[in-house]
Amino acid sequence: MEPRFGTFDFVFCNLKRRPFRTACLVILVAALSFMSFGGSLIAYGLMKGAENMSKRLGADMMVVPSGYENAVSGILLRSEPSTLSIDEGWTEKIASVEGVSIVSPQLLVASLNADCCSSPVQIVGYDPETDFIVGPWVRTFFLGAVSAGEIIVGNAIDAKVGSPLKFFDREYRVAARLERTGMGFDACVFMDLDTARRAARDLISKGGKVSFSAGAVSSIFLRISDGYTIDQVMRNIHGQYGYGGNGIAIVPTRLFVRNIAAGLNRLFSFFVALEAVIWILVVLVLGIVFSVTINERSREFGIFRSLGATRGQIAWLVLFESGIVGLYGGVLGTFFSGLLVLPFRIYIGRILNMPYVQASVGTITLIFAASFLLSFSVGPLAALASSIRAGNRDVYAVIRGGEA
Q: What are phi and psi of 163, to 5 degrees?
A: -85, 160
Q: What are the tens digits of pLDDT across the range 145-191?
A: 677 778 988 888 888 888 999 999 999 999 888 877 767 777 889 99
pTM for the structure as a whole: 0.62
Contact present, 72 and 209 (Cβ < 8 Å): no
Contact present, 210 and 85 (Cβ < 8 Å): yes
Residue type at 339 in one-letter notation: L
Chain centroid to CA 171: how far?
34
Strand-pair category, 122-126 with 188-192: parallel
Q: What are the tens digits of pLDDT across the range 105-147?
A: 988 888 888 888 888 888 888 888 888 877 766 766 666 667 7
Please give the Cα distance from 132 to 40 (Å, whole number). 33
Please give the Cα distance from 61 to 92 (Å, whole number). 15
CA-wise closest residue to 134 among 160, 108, 158, 110: 108
Give, for all 404 residues of the chain, the pLDDT tens digit. 444 545 666 667 777 777 888 888 888 888 888 888 888 888 888 777 776 666 666 678 888 888 777 666 666 666 667 777 888 788 888 999 999 999 999 888 888 888 888 888 888 888 888 888 777 667 666 666 677 778 988 888 888 888 999 999 999 999 888 877 767 777 889 998 889 888 888 888 887 767 676 678 888 988 889 888 888 998 888 888 876 557 788 888 766 666 666 667 777 788 788 878 888 888 788 778 777 777 666 666 666 666 666 777 777 777 787 888 888 888 998 899 888 888 876 677 667 666 677 788 888 889 888 888 888 888 777 777 666 665 555 554 555 554 44
